[in-house]
Structure 1
């Protein structure tokens, strides 16, 4: 069971859509604790109606004590094996808790965290806060080896194992309650599941109704933000604490630095005092690792005269760039991928920014023994092509370099389409972007899908290759996190699996702008890791009024 704590305070405008999104969760074993924190706008009465509508909901009331106290009150009543928090003005897609809990059930990790979308005037856009942390799904990762995860300091896009949560409490009577809780828990966690799929729609309120996180220019918020970051850092072991100080200066504390042109002298004076206290306890080398202009800004923040700092902030803001992009040092010119397309067995690459003509492609095997294959490249006008010879490429992931001189071929946002292709009857090659570089994934699958067709009440998936006796076909929302499983039956030289069409039904969108959810199809033995099911060279797209079975850019079978 999952206990979900929902503090409620003066959110009548948003409450029902939030609670409806919880009631529609495909993970059904819920215990939803609504904590009416002294609402005065009718929110408490709206919340009181929900236990009668859905027995999984219960309501407790308290005098207004703030978000932290309301969360603590709800958590103290938790009965589930897992714990989650939802703010009453936000919304969740229907599959959110299903994939978060399924991941934890599969891996045994301490908590699971998913990607976030900003919900603004009905539209959904990526959260800049999570752009670098949730690019892809990674299960059971050690936060000490992935310390950048502390950029993800929300409490509400996560499901916590309650035995790991223990007696953790949110600070009370302050703003920014999430930071001093989530950051230290990253430091304590043995393993975390990171899901590259949106699980939380974080509402951005209109200007006349801003949330706490949108009221940066208030001095109380300035004090509480510095206090939250300082408390979180002091809970971490030294190496992690130093890293977190570096991230905070680029994220939470940068946000208050950026409002300095718009605030009064009292705010600026308080900012200077808090900055001096924070940096006095931080390794000075941290500033040396920041982008040059941001490092300059934090050094100026320690001076008696903040006018040069305010001028620098205005100059940075005049660039028209948003967030950290405005502060980063100009990147050195580098060759980057502009487009990729297949022509037979030739992968044609359009390269921008190359400082000299490209005459070679080097493909370096990512794993040991790190073999290198050099391929001649030819082209003009920025278009370069190289022939991928299947006999020279072993299955695995290969990193693409160009030359001379030999350099990584970079892939930057926006990432161009990278289509997968069968380059001979036995070999599928998939270009992909990872860690900012172009990679090529070479597969010689012995088992793959050849067709998908409707047969009565089922979708029948047929394939080629010998299935293992206990092989299962899985459908997943996030890679490696099965939601449903079906037996695979040998049939002649191939195999088949039947999926009830009712299992593929699309959930009701939580908000009108929500995209249609996609199932990924995978194979795996019971209890073992899953592998994406690739489509074969003759696989044809199948479409009905209710779903589409097709091949995704990485060559895997999907059902939308």
Structure 2
């Protein structure tokens, strides 16, 4: 059985669409754990209706404690051998769980699909043959992470239960996906990533990455440092984690830091730490684009070097800003 965990908080506008997509799955041996995280709109009433109509749906209510707590509570209450997370404003394809289960063999612990932030692309029927984009063990998965083949998202994946239980989501922090997304790879035997868009990820202006700066955004370094500590006993992998964190620190600086921000120096300090971590593997450092850019002029990397590079890269590749759904 697959346990589908759905944290719910003030999503009455999108909740029915999400729950319908779960209810209509072609793979039917499921239980759906809805964790109402203190919603103040009609989300709880909507959840109760689905539980009344479908015996596979269960509702847990708690005071508002955040998405990490809701996920952990849902996992603790679930009974399935496999676990999938679905955010309550997102949608999954009708054959999403069935497709992931096809690749969940005895030695596989995580199967990951692609996702899209374009609802138009999601709704287009995808009839092409599914292929494997990546298949590897724990070490291979961590080493490929800087290439962005795999995602840190809790969603878009089917997990063997023991993997999720091995690393609960840190509560009281944002950017917890960075910690668990890579941290869980420490405990797997094999992960498979398939070329299949099974998940629609809805973006909002209210999402963390689109909000104005607050000191809460410094949590990104707390979870990054926790990740480095988690892998401290596997030193050969730390440079690869460092390479990924250089990318994260760079992009968070670009999104968060405006002129005069008092935390700019701190961002640069953490970036330097992650750069040094990557340099413990000289070959990796030489072949990492962000490290090469950083070495041009570390002092002005965030304020000048990277913004120019990123502008030219977007111009060359015709990249436009992602449309955000209000």
Q: Structure 1 CA distance, aligned partners of 2:44 and 2:295?
A: 44
Considering fraction of residues, name the structure with more strand.
1
- 1:526-547 CA-to-partner distances (Å, cap 9, x unmatched) read xxxxxxxxxxxxxxxxxxxxxx
Considering fraction of residues, name the structure with more helix.
2
Q: Cα–Cα, structure 1 residues 227 and 278, in superposed 2: closer, same or farther, change >3 Å?
A: farther
**Residue 230 of structure 2: which of 206, 230, 235 is its match?**
235
Deviation of 1:278 after TM superposition, in Å, equals 4.0
- Helix, strand or coil for the counterpart of 1:36? strand
Q: Structure 2 CA distance, aligned partners of 1:222 and 1:262?
A: 14
Q: Structure 2 CA distance, aligned partners of 1:69 and 1:300?
A: 42
Q: Cα–Cα, structure 1 residues 194 and 317, in superposed 2: closer, same or farther, change >3 Å?
A: closer
Q: Cα–Cα, structure 1 residues 263 and 158, in superposed 2: closer, same or farther, change >3 Å?
A: farther
User: Within 5 A, what are the aligned runs for 1:331-480?
Assistant: none
Q: Cα–Cα, structure 1 residues 256 and 99, in superposed 2: closer, same or farther, change >3 Å?
A: same
Contact 1:35/1:74 (<8 A) preserved: yes
Deviation of 1:140 after TM superposition, in Å, equals 5.5
Q: Structure 2 CA distance, aligned partners of 1:66 and 1:263?
A: 31
Q: Cα–Cα, structure 1 residues 79 and 242, in superposed 2: closer, same or farther, change >3 Å?
A: same
User: Within 5 A, what are the aligned runs for 1:19-34?
Assistant: 19-34=19-34
Q: Cα–Cα, structure 1 residues 240 and 263, in superposed 2: closer, same or farther, change >3 Å?
A: same
- 1:446-477 CA-to-partner distances (Å, cap 9, x unmatched) read xxxxxxxxxxxxxxxxxxxxxxxxxxxxxxxx
| Residue 74 of structure 2 is aligned to residue 81 of structure 1 | no
Contact 2:174/2:217 (<8 A) preserved: no
Contact 2:15/2:88 (<8 A) preserved: yes
Corresponding residue for residue 258 of structure 1: 254
Aligned residues: 303
Corresponding residue for residue 219 of structure 2: 224
Q: Structure 2 CA distance, aligned partners of 1:276 and 1:225?
A: 15
Q: Structure 2 CA distance, aligned partners of 1:263 and 1:42?
A: 41
Q: Structure 2 CA distance, aligned partners of 1:47 and 1:298?
A: 53
How large is the Cα RMSD of the aligned pairs? 2.8
Q: Structure 2 CA distance, aligned partners of 1:298 and 1:175?
A: 30
- 1:324-373 CA-to-partner distances (Å, cap 9, x unmatched) read x79xxxxxxxxxxxxxxxxxxxxxxxxxxxxxxxxxxxxxxxxxxxxxxx
Corresponding residue for residue 123 of structure 1: 120
Deviation of 1:16 after TM superposition, in Å, equals 1.1
Q: Structure 2 CA distance, aligned partners of 1:314 and 1:320?
A: 10
- Helix, strand or coil for the counterpart of 2:241? helix
Deviation of 1:58 after TM superposition, in Å, equals 0.7
- 1:127-185 CA-to-partner distances (Å, cap 9, x unmatched) read xxxxxxxx941585324234314631111111111133334210001111212112122
* Higher RCO (CA < 8 A, seq sep 6+): 2
Q: Structure 2 CA distance, aligned partners of 1:158 and 1:322?
A: 33
| Residue 306 of structure 2 is aligned to residue 313 of structure 1 | yes
**Residue 212 of structure 1: which of 184, 189, 208 is its match?**
208
- Helix, strand or coil for the counterpart of 2:33? strand
Deviation of 1:280 after TM superposition, in Å, equals 5.3
Corresponding residue for residue 108 of structure 2: 109
- Helix, strand or coil for the counterpart of 2:196? strand
User: TM-score, length-normalised on structure 2?
Assistant: 0.82
- The structure having more radius of gyration, on CA atoms, is 1
- Helix, strand or coil for the counterpart of 2:312? coil
Q: Cα–Cα, structure 1 residues 140 and 281, in superposed 2: closer, same or farther, change >3 Å?
A: closer
Deviation of 1:219 after TM superposition, in Å, equals 3.6
Q: Cα–Cα, structure 1 residues 299 and 223, in superposed 2: closer, same or farther, change >3 Å?
A: farther
Q: Structure 2 CA distance, aligned partners of 1:65 and 1:261?
A: 28
Q: Structure 1 CA distance, aligned partners of 2:116 and 2:295?
A: 30
Q: Structure 2 CA distance, aligned partners of 1:140 and 1:109?
A: 9
